[in-house]
């Protein structure tokens, strides 16, 4: 899914954008809303998986960066709303750092013309800067 979102403006397809936002924004927000509705009188702890891309712009990664930023903001908004409602709800947006995942493998296969920051991700891998997904 994410590998298809690694494109520059002018080269993306609408379906790529929609799928990434469904996965990274719409689905988590629906789940958060259901949890808040079903467990009104219970303590709730929600941890959404974010990315450094939520706060740093990468050329060729506009869909991923913006969808992760949207989830980060939605997490913050839900936290504020629950606090205002005096509910025992804590929401975090956790960015674990660069994880060695299939997404990283796909990123490193990109051409610099399609993903100008590819060299950074190749270096992260070759220099041992990725965290094991099993850790």
**Is 116:99 a contact under the CB 8 Å cutoff?**
no
Q: Is the Cα dihedral 67, 72, 73, 77 positive or negative?
A: positive
Q: Residue 94 catalytic?
A: no
> Measuring CA to CA, which residue among 34, 2, 8, 29 is closest to residue 111?
8
Q: How far is CA 77 from the centre of its chain?
A: 16
Catalytic residue among 64, 71, 74, 107: 64
Q: CA-CA distance, 48 to 92, in Å (whole number)?
A: 6
- Terminal Cα-to-Cα distance of the chain (whole angstroms): 23
Active-site annotation, residues: 64
């Amino acid at each position: 899914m994410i590998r298809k979102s690694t494109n520059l403006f002018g080269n993306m397809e609408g379906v790529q954008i929609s799928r990434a936002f469904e996965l990274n924004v719409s689905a988590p927000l629906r789940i958060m809303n259901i949890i808040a509705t079903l467990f009104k009188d219970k303590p709730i702890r929600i941890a959404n998986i974010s990315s450094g891309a939520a706060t740093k712009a990468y050329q060729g990664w506009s869909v991923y960066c913006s969808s992760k930023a949207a989830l980060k903001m939605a997490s913050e908004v839900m936290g504020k709303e629950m606090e205002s409602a005096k509910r025992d709800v804590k929401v975090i947006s956790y960015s674990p750092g660069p994880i060695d995942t299939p997404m990283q493998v796909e990123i490193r296969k990109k051409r610099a013309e399609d993903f100008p920051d590819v060299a950074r991700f190749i270096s992260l891998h070759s220099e041992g800067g990725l965290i094991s997904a099993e850790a």
